[in-house]
Amino acid sequence: MKDRLTELEIKTSLNEDLLEELNRTVYRQQQQIELLQEQLRFLFRQVQAHDEPAEPRSLRDEIPPHY
């Protein structure tokens, strides 16, 4: 019985460590997501700030830079 209790205590301790590490990982990922969202909003505002052409352009009319 004592061995089983010791084994359960070890498993519980390992699970607590794993849970803490997972919590830290989720926290770091959330920070990265928030940073990426802010960068995306910034880029979107930059694109919106550019003057849009008066008439729509077709990509077929565009000449690639290597020609």
Tokens 């794993």 label which residue? Answer: 18
Judge whether 61 lies within some domain: no
Judge whether 59 lies within some domain: no
Domain of residue 27 covers 16-44
Burial (CB count within 10 angstroms: exposed 0-12, middle 13-18, buried 19+), residue 9 = exposed
Judge whether 67 lies within some domain: no
pTM of the model: 0.61
Count of structural domains, the chain: 1
Residue 67 confidence class, pLDDT cut points 50, 70, 90: low
Distance of alpha carbon 28 from alpha carbon 19, whole angstroms: 14
Taking only the tens place, the pLDDT of each residue in 3-44 is 999 999 999 999 999 999 999 999 999 999 999 999 999 999
Judge whether 30 lies within some domain: yes
pLDDT of residue 58: 75
Judge whether 62 lies within some domain: no
